[in-house]
Amino acid sequence: MSIRIQHLGKRFGSFTALEDVSLDIRQGELLALLGPSGSGKTTLLRAIAGLEHADSGRILFDGEDATALSVQARRAGFVFQHYALFKHRDVRGNIAFGLEVRRGAGRWPKARIDARVQELLSLVQLDGLGGRYPAQLSGGQRQRVALARALAIEPRVLLLDEPFGALDAQVRRELRRWLRELHDRTGLTTVFVTHDQEEALELADRVAILNRGRIEQLGTPAEVYDQPVSPFVYGFVGEANRLPAQLLDGRLAVGGGSLPAPSTSTAGAVEIYVRPEDLAVGEGGWPATVTALQRSGGKVRLRAKLDADASELELELPAAAPAYTPGSTVHLQVRRYGVFPRTER
């Protein structure tokens, strides 16, 4: 199912949660809503589900206006961060719940419900655990039960709100891989909310980055990481060093040296954004003094202060790079950078 969001707005008192948000979600894609706390990502997800009603705008499912539809009529499977499982029901009972409470012509016979539950237990790799209760399961297993329960009703869209937020790092990584495989098998249009950039970049087909109730950028993981459209995206997706610069006659005066400026830049005071991995140590670059080093797995984090203006930059180097010590003189070269008008902070 495709979803079209048109000029959606939502306020809670004086707080604007969503401001004129428009977004097209493609049939069968896995879309991440990424942003800091208060950016509007969960409000947007809940509006799609029908759990929040927007003050303005429309939501269309496959071209049909779903704005006024009830939660049940939208047939959206929703998975919460903290599972929301029924403690008094076993795994089978939790998965079957949405099917058992149906009334009228939509109600399934018990044999069909049992077959659907068994199918889902296999799908989420919980065969043999149907008789256990939530308290007898690990966090990762509980989240799989929550996903199976959301899938039981045969939803048109799957919505996940910080689905791995309550899990430890190792379990999160394992479930991310599993969720991607599950999505590829089911083909369901899936939207998930996260504040974890690594999670979004690893899992999603596309990422919508929200900030203060607006979408700052929408693109593939490679696009939002390699081609940020704003200082916010540069700083939120990955890491970035920020340097003051002056642009004149197509050149950037920065760090005591000069760099070519993008053709779209306007003369005057600007800021250069450079990711740690886009800086290297070499000949003929900015003179700098090493201030600190830290080994992190197969990488070395090196901090160096520019001789020209005392700006401190962070670099990411291979662990096999030459050994530097605090006080060493190095020359920094820039591989890739972004240029934005300078703003007061």
Which of the four pLDDT bands, split at 50, 70 and 90, describes residue 166?
Answer: low
Are the beta carbons of 220 and 189 closer than 8 angstroms?
no
Please tell me whether residue 22 adopts helix, strand or coil conformation: strand
Question: pLDDT at residue 144 above 60?
Answer: yes
CA distances from 195 to 123, 211, 298 (A): 27, 11, 25
Tell me what the mean pLDDT of segment 19-28 comes to.
Answer: 97
Question: pLDDT at residue 345 above 70?
Answer: no
Q: What is the pTM of this model?
A: 0.90
Q: What is the DSSP string of 241-267?
A: EEEEEEEETTEEEETTEEEEPPTTPPS
Please tell me whether residue 295 adopts helix, strand or coil conformation: strand
Report pLDDT digits (tens) over 240-261: 999 999 998 889 999 888 898 8
Report pLDDT digits (tens) over 178-232: 899 989 999 999 999 999 899 999 999 999 999 999 999 999 999 999 999 999 9
Question: pLDDT at residue 164 above 90?
Answer: no
Q: Which two tokens stand for residue 93?
A: 């009972």
Of the chain, the percentage scoring pLDDT greater than 90 comes to 70
Which of the four pLDDT bands, split at 50, 70 and 90, describes residue 21?
Answer: very high
Domains (range + CATH), the chain: 3-235 (3.40.50.300), 239-341 (2.40.50.140)
Name which of 311, 336, 314, 188 is nearest 255 in CA terms. Answer: 311
Cα 80 to Cα 146: distance, rounded to the nearest angstrom: 8
Which range, 12-21, 268-277, 321-330, is most confident? 12-21
Least confident of 23-32, 68-77, 164-173: 164-173
* Mean pLDDT, rounded, of the chain: 91
Tell me what the mean pLDDT of segment 311-321 comes to.
Answer: 88
- pLDDT of 344 reads 65
Instruction: Say which residue the tokens 């896995």 belong to.
Output: 30
Tell me what the mean pLDDT of segment 165-173 comes to.
Answer: 79
Tell me what the mean pLDDT of segment 319-340 comes to.
Answer: 88
- pLDDT of 222 reads 96
